[in-house]
Structure 1
């Protein structure tokens, strides 16, 4: 069987691993090195020579992620490092860029503040649109985020990529919420896909990591060069932890989606809950489009309580759910997004379903709501 014929679970377990050797670990430990021994003058051109330029632990994880996404993966030390490295590598002074108004707030903040010296023409569009005629005219880069964080709206990657390419623009997709198992933007026409691997890919709330995957090898080389010159390099141990965790990615996502489905079903019609959204819910406005382009549902959904105090009371009453601003881990968490400046109501909650037993989680959440 070729790699492309293998199932998701098999690829997660096997991806980036070396051929087995008797007496050696299944996944070699992290390589900690600043300089490497150079040997003689006849050393191979691809020999590692300095830790900022390359590390075999990075490459193993890059191979695993790239296999899942169908591209060249470049590992970076955080999701924001992935976003900033891609934007700085692609954008030039005076360029036009399209951003989602409802995507991750720090992305917009970075473009408006940290890239202000470029004098960019910044065009912001809500993820579900409308996407008017001419919106991509003269644009260098279109950055999509679908499902969006925290609103969980969805846009048509294939259709927008076709329109953007016709106007000469590049398309990048923040795939953090969906993960490589839930959605493959490169196969849908995107030029680049990026993610915070701090979330579901590593999945244990103990790692900061990110990556960019691209189809074009020349762009991959530019990103590697940018990483090397900026020093925005991932740690070997963090990379090894994420690679180790990828072996259970398929299993974790399945349980998280199962728990999300059970919770969404329990919260339908609950008097304390409004604004319930999850792409996997048949009545969700994004469901039909999400069903066409996503390969599986995730564990993240959203709803609203009356106000910030109601969210605090919910957390006080819950035994299983904690407040945390990340998502995708094995523990169920909620984040009241208004506290970070997202333009949402004070009682807006992003819920990340963990890997607890569904019956326990549903009973706890319903009890905490009162």
Structure 2
């Protein structure tokens, strides 16, 4: 099991050059911390500016002129964002990467030849590809199980298991994983427990507080919230893991740039306000789907009928902005449904202020074979909605418009 030791602040009045919590355990709510955490306010600026520097001046050949030397290693705008992410995740360290996949790859980069991974049977397509096609070439073996069943995870871990990797809620079926139970199973064999928290965001769920060692976010999604920047992060409370992630970040070089860092930091200020609206709208859309004759199955953790509802109610502050469903007429109905929408946009990605719809089998998971789709539980006619923050009545009316088109 990873060490619980964490790095200490150096006591300086400015935030540390590398990231770390800046709230000192302040009891302020996440809403307030998201707005104020991490701001350095140089020259009394209300918002930390964009530092578009690649390199920094030395005082001499043997002495730095300031805290920074080269932006691949550390940079002020990215560092501010990392402080914010660490703060919101309840972490001591967070590292920002050029994409969510770069962040996930950084987690897998902790593995060595001979290591074993236990992972969910339903994963984001590119995460699955890394585990299926890339890391086995480096001598890493993978077992996919139903991670909603803690006993299945315990049965799958073994002496050489180094990582248990889960999403919750999962993409795209919104299955809910008991984070504490999975973390306990991982720690029984001294494995790292990592959670992709993208569908929830730290506004709704903080995996580290539930026993996980690593929390992964696609910053592209809810943290940024405006579909105009790509990024990812990994947060931890473990000092040893933090050092290894930091080295991976600057040696592999997939760091988040200053402009993207600025945009994500700006988006994070409104995270809680947006998530409140996302959740309310998603619940209304789910209710509309459940009551419509064209719909066969609805996947939304907020529904009492959802098999993970009780776990979600226990570990999440709300049930999120993602809804998935299957239409009675399968893929043909799914095609007609998305074509009839007027307010909701057909596009990949999620977590932005605008509502998006996709058919996973034809879009995000298009490279899956029929066998892989079946193993992941993805019906060819499955529809996934990222419910935005438009007016609730407008979204419900648009969804009903699409449903009525397939009757």
Class of the TM-score when normalised by the shorter of the 2 chains:
over 0.9
1:313 aligned residue: 336
1:369 — aligned with what? 403
Distance 2:117 2:259 in 1: 35
Given that residues 347 and 356 in structure 2 are in contact (C-alpha distance below 8 angstroms), is that contact kept between their aligned partners in structure 1? yes
Q: Does 1:327 align with 2:350?
A: yes
Out of 100, 106, 111, the residue aligned to residue 91 of structure 1 is: 111
Structure 1 alignment gaps of length 5 or more:
none
Instruction: Give the 3 Å change call, closer, same or farther, for CA 41–118 of structure 1 in structure 2.
Output: closer
User: Secondary structure at 2:298's aligned position in 1?
Assistant: strand
1:65 alignment partner, one of 64, 73, 85: 85
Describe the shift of the 1:187–1:45 C-alpha distance in structure 2 as closer, same or farther (beyond 3 A). farther
Q: Please, which moves more after superposition, 305-314 or 6-15?
A: 305-314
What corresponds to 1:210 in structure 2?
232
SS at match of 2:72: coil
User: What is the CA deviation profile of residues 106-143 of structure 1, one whole-angstrom value per residue up to 9, with x for unaligned ones?
Assistant: 11211221112222221111232263354212211100
Alpha-carbon shift at residue 4 of structure 1 (Å): 3.4
Query: For the residues of structure 2 that align with 1:267 and 1:122, how far apart are their CA atoms?
Result: 36
Residue of structure 2 aligned with 1:49, choices 50, 62, 69: 69
The two structures have a TM-score, normalised by structure 1, of: 0.95
Q: Distance in 1 between matches of 2:268 and 2:318?
A: 17
Work out which of the residue numbers 183, 188, 191 in structure 1 matches 2:205.
Answer: 183
Give ranges in structure 2 of 5+ residues lacking alignment.
Answer: 1-22
Equivalent residues of 2:90, 2:208 under 8 A apart:
yes
Alpha-carbon deviations, 1:292-350, whole Å to 9, x = none?
11122210011012233322322222210111110111111111001124511121011
Match of 2:125 in 1: 105
Q: 2:60 — aligned with what? A: 40
Matched, 1:120 2:154: no
Shift of 1:45: 9.1
Deviation of 1:184 after TM superposition, in Å, equals 0.7
2:98 is equivalent to residue 77 of structure 1 = yes
- Cα distance in 1 for partners of 2:65, 2:215 equals 29
Give the Cα separation in 1 of the matches to 2:24 and 2:157: 39
Is the contact between residue 125 and residue 131 of structure 1 (CA under 8 Å) also seen in structure 2?
no
1:356 maps to: 390
In 1, Cα distance between the equivalents of 2:217 and 2:332?
32
**1:161 paired residue number:** 183
**After the TM superposition, which residues 221-236 of structure 1 pair with which residues of structure 2 at under 5 Å, given as runs?**
221-236=243-258
Structure 1 stretch 333-342 or stretch 258-267: which is displaced more? 333-342
> Of 257, 271, 274, which aligns to 1:252?
274
Instruction: Tell me the residue number matched to 2:168.
Output: 146
Q: 2:65 & 2:294 partners in 1: Cα distance?
A: 63
Q: Structure 1 220/2 Cα, relative in aligned 2: closer, same or farther at 3 Å?
A: closer
Alignment of 1:191-206 (within 5 A): 191-206=213-228
Counterpart secondary structure, 1:173: strand
User: After the TM superposition, which residues 275-286 of structure 1 pair with which residues of structure 2 at under 5 Å, given as runs?
Assistant: 275-286=297-308
2:193 alignment partner in structure 1: 171
In structure 1, the residue matched to 2:359 is: 336
Number of paired residues?
367
Aligned-residue Cα RMSD (Å) equals 1.8
Aligned to 1:237: 259
